[in-house]
Chain A
Amino acid sequence: MSSMQFILLFIVAFISGMGSVLDEAQFHRPLVSCTLTGLVLGDMTTGIILGGTLEMLALGWMNVGAAMAPDAALASVVSTILVVVGHQSIGAGIALAVPLAAAGQVLTIFVRTITVFFQHAADNFAAKGSCFGIEMCHLGGLALQGFRVALPAMAIAAVAGTDTVNAALASIPEVITRGLQVSGGFIVVVGYAMVINMMNAKSLMPYFFLGFLLAVFTNVNLIGFGAIGLICAFFHIKDLQRELAMQQAGPIGTGNPVDDVDDSDLM
């Protein structure tokens, strides 16, 4: 790797790290992060394919409330380095991404704990009326998140592609690499399960089964499913409107038997 590549890689990793806490522009998602990392390392196509594969795996990784998801940023950047610079297969990249996501999760929890210090510093600046001070506390926390991904990425980039690392990765037996490939076919269900659980809408599960059956027995593509989904949503809302209007008109019978989004503990 040239020194220019090191600098660009640092910038991409830093942006990805900041993206992981901001969760706004999605620079931390594999689809974006792997593509950019591949671009600066000189093999964007591999980055895109790895990004697409990892994105499916990470579909349900989301920070909701105070819960921390596995970290897509570190996983994306470092696994792309290992695949592009270290000449690993996409399958190996995916397998390596999992422990990296766990390591990233630990690091971000660590940073988010350290940032409590900035919170108290911000209190002091508020007492002095220093807006600038508070802004610096904010940017300090953000920068730490950038370094959290950029520094490990630099370390890996420095050793990836060296004979020792290649030999170590090449010594993995075939049953493991092939087995990982096999798992790659269904590992994405974890992501789907996370999304479904997050919705937490037991009464809406028939729509899930409808999507499943249509996909099994027809050739509708994803855009088609989006359109069907919108139509279903339209009718569902109509139905809900009618139901709520009836409730307002006065209780008849036992009230509403089906619909409640907050209906918890599904399956």
Chain B
Amino acid sequence: MANHAEKLTKGDLISIFIRSNFLLGSFNFERMQAIGFAVSMIPALKKLYSGEDLNKALKRHLEFFNTQPFLATPIMGIVAAMEEKRANGADISDQTISGVKVGLIGPLAGVGDPIFWGTLRPVLAALGAGIALTGSIIGPLIFFVAFNVIRLLTNWYGVMYGYEKGTELVEEVGGNRMRYLTEGASVLGLLVMGALVAKWTTVNMPFVMSQYTNSAGEEVIVTVQSILDSLMPSIVPLLMTFACMYFLKKGVNPLVIIIGLFALGIVGYAVGLFA
């Protein structure tokens, strides 16, 4: 490690930020995001190490890595700060650096998955899709622009904040604030999902249950749908959602469930249950 001491510059951190946008490029089933993480760290490693030290550093960051991709950036920042200290003579072992990485990927995925995949993307996508159904370009644009602005800000501040705070941040990840964020996002996400189940599904069951002439002499047709509508509209999609949740929990492939629902639609239409 000797006399190769250097400080990382803003430019190095910007390079890490740019590369972080390609983290998953070489995702593989053996070590997942490992190459992507190493490639993201290369600007820092090249600056800090040379020769045999560089080889070791590269190897160190080709270890298993997998987390929510946007929240990998604070880890990159923290690791950059640690590598910098190490290159400048601080006593930080390989195990410490690996330990920080391994210790953070789980909690950050636990926070990032519900926030970004569970809430942000479905909510923005549903908003965009609703507009897109009218054929307006605004729909795709809203989704694309809003999602990417939030994502790029997350990646940018992830790297910068992670580097600035270094290992201090490790405690924060396990702290209450993260839990508030996760649960808050889940509340928002679940509320919107509940609304979507009712709003953006169509089930029409015109199957006739009974037919009679009322006291005013008008003919009244009672269909399955009219009964359901008088009790609780959208109850069928709600029950279907619960059935899907059950099958997904049982490990059924979502595509199998989709094909099953297609079959239900075709058979239901053929026998006159659905229209």
A and B from one complex: yes
Say yes or no: is B188 at the interface (Cβ < 8 Å to chain A).
Answer: yes
Neighbouring A residues of B246 by C-beta, 8 Å = 267
Say yes or no: is A161 at the interface (Cβ < 8 Å to chain B).
Answer: no
When the two chains form their complex, are residues A49 and B234 in contact, meaning their CB atoms are under 8 A apart?
no
Q: Is the interface of A mostly helix, strand, loop or mixed?
A: helix
User: Out of B24, B52, B268, which one reaches A179, CB within 8 Å?
Assistant: B268
Total A-B Cβ pairs within 8 A: 381
What total of chain B residues lie within 8 Å of the partner, measured CB to CB? 114
| Residues from 208 to 244 in B contacting A, C-beta threshold 8 Å | 232-234, 236-238, 240-242, 244
Size category of the A interface is 35 or more
Give a binary string over A69-99; 1 marks a CB under 8 Å from any B CB, 0 the rest. 1100000000000000000000000010010
Say yes or no: is A26 at the interface (Cβ < 8 Å to chain B).
Answer: yes
Give a binary string over A166-192; 1 marks a CB under 8 Å from any B CB, 0 the rest. 000000000110111111111111111
When the two chains form their complex, are residues B30 and A26 in contact, meaning their CB atoms are under 8 A apart?
no
**CA of A60 to CA of B121, assembled, Å:** 9
Most chain B CB neighbours (cut-off 10 Å) among A18, A178, A188, A261: A188
**CA of A115 to CA of B29, assembled, Å:** 8
**CA of A199 to CA of B248, assembled, Å:** 13
Neighbouring B residues of A194 by C-beta, 8 Å = 244, 248, 254
Give a binary string over A115-137; 1 marks a CB under 8 Å from any B CB, 0 the rest. 11011001101111101001101
When the two chains form their complex, are residues B262 and A98 in contact, meaning their CB atoms are under 8 A apart?
yes
When the two chains form their complex, are residues A56 and B204 in contact, meaning their CB atoms are under 8 A apart?
no
When the two chains form their complex, are residues B117 and A201 in contact, meaning their CB atoms are under 8 A apart?
no
**CA of A54 to CA of B93, assembled, Å:** 49
When the two chains form their complex, are residues A55 and B186 in contact, meaning their CB atoms are under 8 A apart?
no
Most chain B CB neighbours (cut-off 10 Å) among A137, A187, A244: A187
CB distance from A119 to the nearest CB of B (A): 5
Neighbouring A residues of B180 by C-beta, 8 Å = 237, 240-241
**CA of A105 to CA of B26, assembled, Å:** 16
CB distance from B111 to the nearest CB of A (A): 10
CB distance from A62 to the nearest CB of B (A): 4
Q: Can you name 5 A-B residue pairings with CB atoms under 8 Å?
A: A21-B24, A179-B270, A185-B201, A193-B242, A196-B193
User: Can you list the 4 inter-chain pairs with the closest CB atoms, starting with the nearest?
Assistant: A183-B265, A211-B194, A52-B132, A141-B26
